[in-house]
Amino acid sequence: MKQSFPNLFSPLVVGPASLKNRIFSTGHMTVMLENGVPSDAMVAYHKARAEGGAGLIILEAARAHVSGDSGRPAIRAYDDACIPGYQRIARACHPFGCKVFAQLSHPGREMPLAADGTYAVAVAPSSVPNERFHVMPREMPRVLIGEITDGFEAAAGRIRRAGLDGIEIVASHGYLIAQFFNARTNVRTDEYGGNFENRLRFAREILSAVRRGAGPDMAVGIRLSGEEKDHDGLDGAECLEIAQALAADGVLDYLNVTAGTSAGLAGSMHIVPAMSFETGYTAPLAAAVRAKTDIPVFVAGRINQPQIADEILASGQADMCGMTRAMIADPLMAQKAKAGNSDDIRACVACNQACIGHMLNGYPISCIQRPETGRELEFANRIPAKSPRRVMVVGGGPAGMKAAAVAAERGHEVTLFEAGTALGGQVALAQLLPGRAEFGGVTQNLSREARAAGVTVELGVRVTRELVDQTRPDVVILATGALPFMPSIEGAEDGHVVSAWQVLQGEANVGSRVAIADWRCDWIGLGLAEQLARDGCHVRLAVNGMTAGQSIPQYARDKWLGDLHRLGVEVIPYARLFGADQDSAYFQHTLNGDPIVLEGIDTIVTSLGHQPVTVLGDDLGNWDGDIHMIGDCLSPRTVEEAVLEGLRVGSRI
Element (H, E) at 461: none
CA angle 607, 612, 618 (to 5 degrees): 160
Cβ neighbours of 619 (radius 10 Å):
14
Which run of H or of E encompasses 602? none
Q: Tell me the C-alpha distance between 50 and 118, whole Å.
A: 38
Whether 84 shows a pLDDT value over 90: the answer reads: yes
pLDDT at position 115 is 87
Rg (CA), the chain: 26
Q: Which residues pair with 269 in a beta bridge?
A: none
Return the DSSP state at 113.
B
How many other C-beta atoms are found inside a 10 Å radius of the C-beta of residue 190?
11
The whole-number average pLDDT for the span 96-118 is 96
pLDDT band at 2 (very low <50, low <70, confident <90, very high): low
Residue-wise pLDDT tens digits, 419-474? 999 999 999 999 999 999 999 999 999 999 999 999 999 999 999 999 999 999 99
Instruction: Name the 3-class secondary structure at 289.
Output: helix
Q: d(Cα 52, Cα 347) in Å, to the nearest integer?
A: 15
Calculate mean pLDDT across residues 203-223. 98
Residue 1 has pLDDT above 70, yes or no: no
Residues 6 or more apart whose CB falls under 8 angstroms from that of 249 comprise: 204, 207
Reported in sequence order, the residue ranges of 419-481 that DSSP labels E, i.e. its strands, are 456-459, 475-478
pLDDT at 3 over 70: no
State which amino acid sits at residue 230.
D
Q: What is the pLDDT of residues 157-203, one digit of tens each?
A: 999 999 999 999 999 999 999 999 999 999 999 999 999 999 999 99
**CB within 8 Å of 387: residues ≥ 6 apart:** none
Taken in order 58, 64, 69, 73, is the CA torsion positive or negative?
A: positive
The pLDDT-based confidence of 393 (bands split at 50, 70, 90) is very high
The DSSP call for residue 440 is G
Q: Give the confidence band of 380 by pLDDT, cuts at 50, 70, 90.
A: confident
**Whole-structure pTM value:** 0.96
Q: Side chain identity at 121, as an amino acid letter?
A: V
At residue 4, the pLDDT reads 82
Residue 97 in contact with residue 138, Cβ under 8 Å?
no
Q: Residue 271's CB: how many other CB atoms inside 10 A?
A: 19
Query: Which domains, from first to last, does the chain contain?
Result: 12-378 (3.20.20.70), 384-484+612-652 (3.40.50.720), 497-608 (3.50.50.60)
| pLDDT band, very low/low/confident/very high, at 130 (cuts 50, 70, 90) | very high
Provide the mean pLDDT of the chain: 97
Residue 38 confidence (pLDDT) above 60: yes
For residues 206-217, give the mean pLDDT. 98
